[in-house]
Amino acid sequence: MTITFGLLIGFFVMVVTILQLTKRKDRSFTDYAVGGRSFDARFQAMSFLNTWYPGAMFTAFGGLAAASGVISFYVLVYSLLTVVLMYVMAQAVWTWGKHFDLKTQPDLFALRYNSRHIRTIAAVIGIISGIPWLVLGMQALGGLFQYMSLGKLGFTSAVILGVAVIALRQVWTVRMGMRGVVISDMAQGIVAYIIGTAVLIDLIIWLVNSKGIQLASLPASMFTLPGLGSKEGPLYVFSLILTGTVGGWCWPYIFVRLFTADSVHSLKKSAALAMPLSLLFGVALLIFGMLASGLPAVADQPNDVWFLASQEAGGVWLLGIAGMILLAASMGHIDGNIQATGAQIANDLFGNYRTLTHPQLIFIAKFGMVLLTALSAWLACLTLPALFSLAVLAYQGIIQLAVPQFLGIFWKKGNAAGAIAGMVLGFLTAVLLEAAFPELLGHTYGLSSGLIGLAVNLTVYVALAYLRPNSADEQLRIDALFQIAKKPANTEQRFDHVQAS
Amino acid sequence: MILNRMLLIKLWFIADAVLALLPPLYWWVNGQPAMLGLPATLVYFLLVSICITASVVTAYFLDSDRSAAR
């Protein structure tokens, strides 16, 4: 226990020391919310990975690979495909962000659709959808601390300890805002995904050489995908990958990464740096999970595969390192979520209908982050049987931002009425379908409620774009926005009038 | 020439989406015998993942070339 907790404490102290050494006073809310748009490709790449892959990758997705086999690869495919989306929208989003000082995802919605109200709606959907995942992330640390105590802590005590540690960590997130998040993501990311991948490869070698487990020795059912005639439905894999791909950039804490880079070039370079690392990490994790399913202990507790295999292979030292890796991944995800939500509370809720000074915005963001941390920590200590269902529902809801977001970036015809009506109707469709038909998948060939909502959303958005076209002035404003995205350097003077109200 | 390369990247990105999302493709892979000594479904996911990664890395290098050429 001294070894495992010693490694965790050592890592925690290292991250906090790095944050203390790099602390500097924020000159503006832009500094606090998007780190002054100052990060190069290396920081961007690691920050994306550390926010994208939560600690649950090692437990939930490692467990999925151990329990269900090759279908778990859907997480890797959508994690890579979503970066293609980032690559395609980087030019427009970063340029608009720089030109109009955008700080949050709803800021972009307000600019594109020239509407204050859409900023509030997008922020509310983003904040509400993020809370169940934040609570789940904190609860997952309970499992970590239980294993690190070598079974001496009960689950409730372990959850309380986990929540206390991650709440303490938020002191630096609140104090330093986005700069702290991105800088700590670099340290946490190196541990989680570089050292993590090395440990995974070592474990694969151990499973093959010492345990004699090979892919060929696993049951054939591990390599079967739901197809025609399956109970999940033939479109199940399609639904999983599409939902993950378009949904990824709908999360406010992921989207804001597009505003923290120092240039479009850095954003694109970060994609080129992050993808090979993501590929290696994902393949290693999922192959490890599948091979580890051959261990007798893992068959009973697949979600604990990361801890069980580490302890069996390398005793308490490797168990401690495994815990450190999972803590690093969890901290990155939780910090990013809390920071982005705090910025949204200040910028998109309080700051939307009244003019606030930069110090006021920073104060409200910090206060919001403290409240959110306290609320999530409290919820994480409760027994909430519907929490996982709420988290799944949240994903079906958040992807409704995809239609106004992506079409808004790439299509000039969309308008505020279509964006708002589409989002609201899509969200309601997803919620009602989930509530009324819990066994929906079997009746929709595997399509999720979120994708059906997305189809409604898209239909409404496109229909209103043609039925209620933009006024001539508004269309000119939108045309000018798209011009700015193409030629950022020469247009400062010509297009100042396109700033949204 | 550079324009043609960028068109190639656009087509590659579209191919990424098709390979990753087209249901008949993974229905077909499901019934195939092992390839290269590995289960066909695993080979499918590995190839799709490598293809997507390669497309973005290549796109970045071509973009950098284009920027340098300006």
The string of pLDDT tens digits covering residues B49-64 is: 999 999 999 999 998 8
Cα separation, A212 vs A198, in Å, equals: 20
Flag whether A96 is in a domain: yes
Cβ contact, residue pair A241, B21, below 8 Å: yes
| Residue A62 belongs to domain with CATH number | 1.20.1730.10
CB A120 within 8 A of CB A385: no
Q: Tell me the pTM.
A: 0.90
State ipTM. 0.94
**Does the residue A230 lie in any domain?**
yes
Q: What's the confidence (pLDDT) of residue A490? A: 43
Q: Does residue A265 belong to the interface with chain B, where contact is any CB pair within 8 Å?
A: yes
Q: Which residues of A touch B52 (CB under 8 A)?
A: 77, 80-81, 83-84, 275
Nearest-neighbour CA in chain B from A88: distance (Å): 9
**Minimal CA separation from A174 to chain B, in Å:** 34
Question: How far is the C-alpha of A397 from the C-alpha of A449, rounded, in Å?
Answer: 9
Rounded CA-CA distance A33/A44 in Å is: 15
Reference A102, options A233, A295, A258; nearest CA is: A258
Asked if pLDDT for residue B68 goes beyond 90, the answer is no
Contact B23 A282 (CB under 8 A): no
What is the residue-averaged pLDDT of chain B?
Answer: 89
Domain assignment of residue A251, yes or no: yes
- Contact partners, residue A95, CB within 8 Å, separation at least 6: A264, A484, A485, A488
Domain assignment present for A238: yes
Residue A84: which of B22, B46, B56 has the nearest Cβ? B56
Number of domains in chain A: 1
Q: What is the pLDDT of residue B66?
A: 73
A68 domain residue, yes or no? yes
CA-based nearest residue to A490, from A500, A475, A480: A480
Residue A27 lies in a domain: no
* Contacting residues of B for A224, CB less than 8 Å apart: 30, 41
Digitized pLDDT (tens) for each residue of chain A, 501 residues in all: 889 999 999 999 999 999 888 877 777 888 888 888 989 999 999 999 999 998 888 988 899 999 999 999 999 999 999 999 999 999 999 999 999 999 999 999 999 999 989 999 999 988 888 888 888 888 878 888 999 999 888 888 888 888 888 888 888 888 888 888 899 999 999 999 999 999 999 999 999 999 999 998 899 999 999 888 888 888 999 999 999 899 889 999 999 999 999 999 999 999 999 999 999 999 999 999 999 999 999 988 888 999 999 999 999 999 999 999 999 999 888 888 888 898 899 989 998 888 888 888 888 988 888 888 888 888 887 776 666 677 777 888 889 999 999 999 999 999 999 999 999 999 899 888 888 877 766 678 888 889 999 999 999 999 999 999 999 999 999 999 999 988 654 444 444 445 544
Task: Record the tokens describing residue A165, joined without a space.
Answer: 């540690």
Stated as kind and residue range, the H or E segment containing A312 is helix A305-344
Q: How many CB atoms neighbour CB A367 within 10 A? A: 15
A5 touches chain B (CB under 8 A): no
Note whether residue A479 is domain-resident. no
Contacts of A205 (CB under 8 A, 6+ apart): none
**A435 in B contact zone (CB under 8 Å):** no
- Taking an 8 Å cut-off on Cβ atoms, the answer to whether B30 and A235 are in contact is no
Q: How far apart are CA A404 and CA A394, in angstroms?
A: 18
Q: For B33-50, what is each residue's pLDDT tens digit?
A: 888 889 999 999 999 999
Q: What is the pLDDT of residue A385?
A: 65
- Identify the domain containing residue A207 by its residue range: 2-20+38-383
